[in-house]
Amino acid sequence: MARLSVVRFGLVAGLVVLAAGAVVLGAASPWWWFLAAPLLALAATGVYDVTQRRHSVLRNYPVLGHLRFLLESLRPEMQQYFVERNFDGRPYDRDVRSIVYQRAKGTAAEEPFGTERDVYAEGYEFLVPSLAPVPVPEHAPRVRVGGPDCAKPYEMALLNVSAMSFGSLSGNAILALNQGAARGGFAHDTGEGGLSEHHLRGGGDLIWEIGTGYFGCRTSEGDFDPSAFAGKAAHDAVKCVSLKLSQGAKPGMGGVLPGTKVNAEIARVREVPRGETVVSPPYHRVFSTPRELVRFIARMRELAGGKPTGFKLCVGSRAQVLAVCKAMLAEGVTPDFIVVDGAEGGTGAAPLEFADHLGTPLTEGLHTVHNALIGTGLRDRIRLGASGKVATGADVVKRLIQGADYTNAARAMMFAVGCIQSQRCHTNKCPVGVATQDPRRGRALDVRDKTERVRRYQEATVASAMRIMAAMGVSDPAELSPRLLRRRVDARTVLSYAEWYDWLEPGQLLAEPPLGWAQEWAAADPDRFA
């Protein structure tokens, strides 16, 4: 109450000063108005604060209480620029952001004076160098995606653009990513928001992702439209098609695009009414069992003219993953690829509880899917992609060791096109024109410049991964093994991934499931997800 009294006394004193000024200077004097305007504004603010009923802070601390809201709005920037250390920021620390920016700009990405990380901390991971390093290959290897039922295999790069929709990102951001992919020779996942002209203008190779909303291939009732899908999948730019089962940031939850962002262009691309909020259901309408899922994958591949077809998921129940594997065996049908999205993956907007507490992190998710396919004898037919905080060459190598054949990056690619991690993606007020549909903000992103930044970043990161592998004595990713990645378990114990995790032998689940897998293998049912 003392502070409240001080504020009120200040307002009264200000009014007294105004009255005195009116007497001395004359109320018509411009000098009096120069003095009066700010004081009158403060007085009006104070009166409003005391009488409003929404904010208790303002009722008790009129005028001064606004400082609290101002400081709160500046907190992310203050934290990022002045408080956090180089290695402990979230979601991406300054070291990682800096290396992406430097590689995107084509400048040196080196640091002096050694690591700032605590290499004796529990959970610290490191790769094992060789006393006999090998020369760095002149060309980075590519991964052939396409199983026995695929008529048009695709050569996938080790690092590609992960799923980000037009609608979530601006048209200029999508175009820059796509043109960067075209110049660098890597793939660009469209996200579930449909095929837009921004995806098609740049000439980049596309992975067309279909989500639960079936945007771009939906009927007026929101069901899957086979003829629309076949027509667009036939486009030369579409190299693969992917069915999104779930995503890392919000597994088991459909997306929501506010009506304010659904302009005429987005409405046309997604085939939805303009200005109306678009809700993606949390589940697919076209299948309800693992067996039906596998059959639908086969149908998609047929409609796409034999192009590589797969699905993306954030792993939950291991028994459900095994149920899908059993369905593959029963139907004699396999996808050409599976993308494992880690729970640490990002998106424009997700409930905090989902982002923080739901879904399996990428390391465990990748291990689950890789071993499930090994144990059922299906691994050689299916390529595995990994997405979830992949940003550096070391990230790429770690994921290859853990079972992936290739990797995808989303937020790192956003950094390459200028994202500054302001974390305002869901507000439509991205300060750099990346995650917005505001035309004025989107124009700030120069497509020509950002195209080259995307290309340089991907090229430098893959080159870094190849240098790391060469330092480990490896010239081909196929030579990587779990023993080459170590984790500190406690102050005195370091284990390799070969020791830290159990690894199945080919066909082991079909012959004699090990104790750690037997119960879930028995529970897995190809005719139900429950």
Domain 143-523, CATH homologous superfamily name and number? Aldolase class I (3.20.20.70)
Q: Which of 390, 394, 395, 392 is nearest to 408 (CA)?
A: 390
Q: Which DSSP symbol is given to 423? A: -
pLDDT attached to residue 114: 80
Identify the DSSP state of 145.
E
Backbone angles phi, psi at 260, to 5 degrees: -65, -25
Give the pLDDT confidence score for residue 376 in this predicted structure: 98
Per-position DSSP letters for 82-128, written without gaps between them: IIS-TT--SSS-HHHHHHHHHHHHT-----SSS--S-TTSTT-EEE-
Question: What pLDDT shows up at residue 3?
Answer: 47
- How long is the chain? 530
- Please identify every stretch of the chain with a pLDDT value under 50, giving residue numbers as ranges: 1-4
Q: What is the pLDDT of residue 467?
A: 97
Max distance between CA atoms of the chain, in angstroms, equals 100
**In the 8-state DSSP scheme, what is residue 81?**
I
What are the residue ranges spanned by the domains of the chain?
1-80, 143-523
pLDDT attached to residue 274: 87
Q: What is the pLDDT of residue 16?
A: 61
Sorted by sequence, the CB contacts under 8 Å of residue 496 that are 6+ apart come out as: 128, 482, 483, 484, 485, 486, 487
